[in-house]
Chain A
Amino acid sequence: MKISFSAEDERFRDEVAGWLADNLRGEFESLRFRGGPGDEHSFPEERKTWERRLAEGGWTGVGWPGAVGGRGLSINQQVIFHEEYARAGGPGRMGHIGEGLAGPTLIAFGSEAQKARFLPGILAGTEYWCQGYSEPGAGSDLANVKTRAERVDGRWRINGQKVWTSLAHESDWCFVIARTEPGSVGHRGLSFLLVPMDQPGIQVRPIEQITGTCEFNEVFFDDAVTDADNIVGAPGDGWKIAMALLGFERGVSTLGQQMQFQNELDQVIAIARDNGQAQDPVMRQRIADAWIGLRIMRYNSLRMLSGPQDGSLSKAAMIYKLYWASWHRDLGKLAMDVLGPEAEILEGAPYDLTRLQSLYLFTRSDTIYGGTNEIQRNIIAERALEMPREPRLG
C-alpha cells in the first residue's frame, strides 16, 4: 500500500495545471465552473470550442490507449488530470459521452474501420455523441426495448422512440439499442447501432425539466437510416455491448465527477462560513457528514482503480451509483438549508435559478437516471450479497 503520488506524477500535475492556466482564460474565462451537473445546457457552442482547444493540447482521450490516438496515461496521471481540471474550474465536458462511453465501446468491440472512422472525431472534439437507451416502456426494464431496426437496401432502417437522451440536440451521432430480430423479447435480438443524428428520419424534442431548462430530449426515429456497417459487434450482440458500456461509466470518469462534487461542497462550505451557519452545531455536523461521504467515494474510487486482486472490488463498483447519487441529492438539500430563507429567492425572471438552486433541483434526478436507487439495491442484494433472486416473469 502506498497512498501518495510519485515525483514524476507531481511533475505531470504541474504540466496539467500550467496548461490549464495558460488556456482556460480569455474567450474561455466565462466557462470556468460552468456546464457541470444541472448546468449542462449552458454555453454548448463555446464548450465545443473548448473541446477543440483541449484536443489541440492533447487532453482528450487521456485514458485511451496510444494505439488508437489516446494519451495512454496511467491511472494515477488520469486521476491527477481530473483533479487539476476540476481545481482550475474546467467546464463540463461536452464530449464526455463520446470519450467516456462511445469511444471505449468502439475500442473494445468496434471493427478497425469503425475505429478509424469514429475515434478521431471524438478525440478532435469535432463529433459529439448521445446515448439511445431508454424508451417510454424501457426504463429500469431496459431489455424491454421496442425500437426496431431492419435491413433494407443495404442499410438499417430504424423506427421507434428514445427518451431522456442527454444533449441529443447537440449531438452528431447516437448509439442506439434496437431490436433487429423481429418478434424477439428481452435481451435477445438486440443490436448496437451507430446512427447519424442529422437526417429527416430523426426528430429531437426537448423535455423541459423542473429546472425550466432542457438537457434531456425525446428522440423519434421515423424511417431513420444508417449504413449497414454501422453496427457494433454482430446482430444480437446489443445487450452484451450495452452492459459492457455501463461498466465504462464506473471507471476513471467517476473521479472527474467527484472533483465537481468537491467544488460544489467547497462552495457550500464557503457560504456557511459567510452567513454564520458554520457556527450552528447541527449544520456543522451535516457539512462534516458531506465531507465524510465525499472522501468515502474518493478513497473507494482509487481503491477500485488500484488493482483487481481483492475479490470485493466488483462489489464496490456495483455500489458506487447508489452511493454517489444519494450523496449528491443530499448535498443539494444541504446547500438549500445552508442558504436558509434566501434559498427560495431566484436570481431573476423568468425562472432564472442560481447555481445552487439548479444543483438542488437537478440532483432530484440523480437517484433516478442510470438506474434508480431501488434497482441499484436489487443489483447489490442479488449480485454482491448473492441473496435469493426474485422470481422473474417470462
Chain B
Amino acid sequence: MDFTFSDDQLAFHDSVKGFLTNEVTPEAIRDLWQRDGGRSDELWGQLAELGLTAMTVPEQYGGLGLDALDFVLLAQECGYAALPEPLVETVMVAVPLLAGLADEHRQLQEHWLSRVASGEARLAVGHPSNPLVADAHIADLLLLCHGDEIHAVPAQQVQLRASESVDPSRRLFAVDWTPSDATRVAGGESGRRLQAEALDHGALACAAQQLGLANRMIDIAVDYSFERKQFGSAVGSFQAVKHLMANVAVKAEFSRAVLYRAAFAAARGQANAAIAASHAKIVATEAALLAARNGIQVHGAMGYTWEVDLHIFMKRAWALDGAWGTRGFHKARVGDFVFADGAPLGAGATFEAR
C-alpha cells in the first residue's frame, strides 16, 4: 500500500508548476480573454515542447506512453493556474479515446496522435454528457459521439456555432456535422465502452482541475485575509473568518487521496475506475465550490469585483461542475453502486479491484 508519487513524477510536477506559475498568470489569462478565439498558439507550442501533449500518446506514435497517474498532479496544476488551453482534456480524454480505437484504425491513430504529440494538431471531443464541444474551434480533428457510435471528423467537415460561457476562458461550440461510414470509427459494444471510458476520464480530468482550483482559491483568500485590516486587525485573525477557510481546507485536503485513488484505478484499468472517478469528481468539485463561496465571503465586497482575480478561478470551478456529468449524475452512480446486489462494501473491501 503506497499512496506516494515517484521521484520522477514529483520532479516533472515541479518543473511544470514552475512553468505555469511564470507563464499562465492571471494577467496572461485576462490578455487571452481579449483575443479572438481566446487561445495562444505560442502557449500550446510551449506546452508541446515540455512534452505535455505527448504524455499519454503511445510510444509507437512518438509519445511518452504514460498514463493518468503520471498526469494527475499536472492536471491539478493546470487547474491551479486555470490554464485556458485544453491540455487536460486532450491528454486525459481525447488521446486515450483515439488510442483506444480498434487496430483497423492504426493509420488514423498514427497520423493524428503523432501530430498531437508534437503539438502540430489538436483534438476535441463531443460527448453526450456535454451539450457543447469545448475548444472545437482550434481542433484539427473532432471525435464526436452519435448514438453509440464514435466518429472522427476532420475540422473541414464541421460547422461551428459559438456559445458564450460564464467562464470567459472557456470556448464552447455547437457542432453541425453529418455522420457517414467514412467518419465512423467505432460502434455497438466498443462504441459504448469507449464513450463510457471517455466519460470517466473526463470526470477524472475535471476532478484534478477542481482540486487545483480549490487550492488556488484558498491561497488567494488566505493571502487577502492578511492584507485586509478591520477593527485594527487582519481579518484572518477572526475565528468566523478562519472557520470559513478551515472548512474549505478540510474538503480540499481530503479530496486529494480520493483523486489519486481514482487516477490509479484509471491508469490500471481497474473495474472500479468508474465509481472512483465519480467519487473524485464529487468531492473535488464540492471542495472547489466551497472554496469559491467562502473565498468570495472572505474578500468581502472586493471579491465581487472584476478586478480581483478570484473570479477567474470561481468561474472555472462553476463551469467544470456541469462538465462530464453533474454531481447529481455522479452521486446517483455511487448510490447505485452502494445498493447493487453483492456490492463489495464491508470493512476490508476498500481496495478490492472489483
Contacts and interface: CB of A to CB of B under 8 A. Distances in A.
A79 B283 CA distance: 24
Contacts of B233: 388, 391
Interface string B326-347: 0000011011001100000111
B156 interface: no
B279 interface: yes
Interface in A318-340: 319, 322-323
A91 B144 CA distance: 56
Given A278-B339, A291-B334, A87 B222 contact: no
Given A288-B331, A292-B283, A319-B249, A263 B346 contact: yes
A298 B253 contact: no
B257 A299 contact: yes
Contacts of A75: 1
Most B-side CB within 10 Å, residue of A297, A319, A374, A389: A319
B339 A284 contact: yes
Contacts of A316: 253-254, 256-257
B188 interface: no
B222 A385 contact: yes
A45 B128 CA distance: 62
B236 A380 contact: no
A295 B250 contact: no
B225 interface: yes
A310 interface: yes
A384 B243 CA distance: 12
Contacts of A272: 339
Interface stretch (B2-10, B43-51, B109-117, B311-319): B2-10
A292 B334 contact: yes
B237 A1 contact: no
A318 B69 CA distance: 26
Contacts of A377: 239, 242-243, 246-247
Contact of B3 (A262, A295, A306, A391): A306
Contacts of B253: 300, 312, 315-316, 319, 384
Interface size class for chain A?
Answer: 35 or more
Contacts of B346: 87, 262-263, 266
Interface stretch (A2-10, A56-64, A177-185, A186-194): A2-10
Interface in A378-394: 378, 380-382, 384-391
A39 interface: no
B1 A380 contact: no
A380 B246 CA distance: 6
Given A4-B353, A381-B245, A388 B237 contact: yes
Contacts of B214: none
Interface string A251-277: 000000001001101100100110000
Contact of B4 (A1, A87, A385, A388): A1
Contacts of A388: 225-226, 233-234, 236-237
Contacts of B256: 300, 303, 312, 316
Given A262-B346, A295-B279, A389-B237, A289 B331 contact: yes
A296 B254 contact: yes
Given A83-B350, A266-B345, 17 more contacts: A1-B6, A3-B351, A76-B1, A86-B347, A265-B345, A287-B339, A288-B335, A300-B253, A300-B256, A316-B254, A316-B257, A319-B250, A377-B246, A381-B249, A387-B236, A387-B241, A388-B233
Interface of A: 1-5, 75-76, 79, 83-84, 86-87, 259, 262-263, 265-266, 269, 272-273, 278, 284-285, 287-289, 291-292, 295-300, 302-303, 305-307, 309-310, 312, 315-316, 319, 322-323, 374, 376-378, 380-382, 384-391
Interface of B: 1-6, 69, 218, 222, 225-226, 233-234, 236-239, 241-243, 245-247, 249-250, 253-258, 260-261, 264, 279, 282-283, 331-332, 334-335, 338-339, 345-348, 350-351, 353
11 contacts: A3-B2, A3-B3, A83-B348, A262-B346, A262-B347, A287-B339, A303-B3, A307-B3, A310-B4, A316-B253, A388-B236
